[in-house]
Structure 1
């Protein structure tokens, strides 16, 4: 009987390593994000940990307001509201699908945004945490619940997932490490700016926005996992 061996196609091994790295990255993001969220939730419910700083941070920001900062941060908060983020995400996904003639990446972005809105609404009603005093609101009344911050959660998911889909989608794109670091750093900075705007304008506590950033990282991890699973399934017939 002839001695036969399975020969791995050229380029298959790097692809496997890339997929494995994507799965590890997805797991790390999911675990890290969930850990931050649950720690913040525990702090809120037990009035301990970072929740002890909620009142002090709120009072300090209210006392340190200035007309210029208020105008800038009010504009940031308006543009990144859940309504506007939904419109921006939808238009971007539609334009992307038509221009690039692809469905998967725009669908991932839309799916992540939809999941963010649903999760934020569900968690808000489950936790039912009250906002800071309405007397400190700078952009009119808001009777929505406080935990987590929908602005921060939505913006974080939009920016992080968008950067991943543009630079790291499927692990198939050759991107310089410095470019990837700068892009994800910009996404993180944008999320932090929105989080700060919600604190400054008086609508959220510190633990609200930190929990939202954790959730955004976790959702990004889910997107990376889903994308990696799809690529793995596509690679099986080829192998």
Structure 2
């Protein structure tokens, strides 16, 4: 091989390595320093969320299968909402159902992930958000086919007839994952506790509206929405654990990402 050929080959290899390093730093690496107590707190929160989610989902599922317990409130809540129906309120609920529906929400998610991915130094968090949403879709579809619960009577549905299964609610699970996971990924990088509290309050309000719209329009039972919330708590706990494991470093631990090094304090 001539010297020119060797340099050309080395240049090509260098470009390949450079592209891989860019991909690694942009899409994989996002490391940050935390106090050891803060990192332990994140792991503890993830465990609490997963345990609470599993317990709530188990209680809801058992009550649905046995037609008692938590599911005993399904009928009364449905009857109460039927008495609240009006043209104005129906229009608002249809708008909410569309926003959190299987067409609009994926589009919103795509826009957020792409814009966030390009704007941020690292694309770790938008990728994690998209992964959490996809996980929720897969889990809900599996449970739907296993439980095979019927929806409320079709003559009570106000936005078209839906003969698919109802447990859990895909609309509510999608809203929960998008709002809860999104809030965590945004506010976990900020020191403003008040802003984080308000962020999660806003997420909770959005989840309440998404669930209310599905119950009001006659497509789900209350226990369907509770199951979705419980599943989202499990997913949120998993996201917190994975994000902490991948990004949280305490002083003395090695930072592997070149871009992350620029954000860490100098010793």
In the other structure, the counterpart of 1:216 is 232
Give the aligned length.
224
Separation in structure 2 between the aligned mates of residue 229 and residue 197 of structure 1, nearest angstrom: 36
Give 2:204's match in structure 1, choosing from 162, 181, 188.
Answer: 188
How far did 1:83 drift?
2.8
In the other structure, the counterpart of 1:6 is none
Q: 5 Å matches for 1:46-125?
A: 46-125=66-145
Separation in structure 1 between the aligned mates of residue 86 and residue 47 of structure 2, nearest angstrom: 42
Unaligned 5+ segments in structure 1 are 1-11
The answer to whether the 8 A contact 2:35-2:250 is kept is no
Separation in structure 2 between the aligned mates of residue 125 and residue 194 of structure 1, nearest angstrom: 23
In the other structure, the counterpart of 2:12 is none
Runs of 4+ in structure 1 displaced over 4 angstroms? 232-235
Q: CA RMSD in A?
A: 1.9
TM-score by length of 1: 0.89
In the other structure, the counterpart of 2:27 is none
Question: Which structure has the bigger radius of gyration?
Answer: 2
* Deviation digits for residues 39-97 of structure 1 (CA, Å, limit 9, x no counterpart): 10010001111111211211221232111111101100111013322221121101101
Unaligned 5+ segments in structure 2 are 1-32, 256-266
SS at match of 1:237: coil
Give 1:127's match in structure 2, choosing from 120, 123, 147.
Answer: 147
In the other structure, the counterpart of 1:166 is 186
The answer to whether the 8 A contact 1:82-1:117 is kept is no
Q: Which one has a larger percent helix, Structure 1 or Structure 2?
A: 1
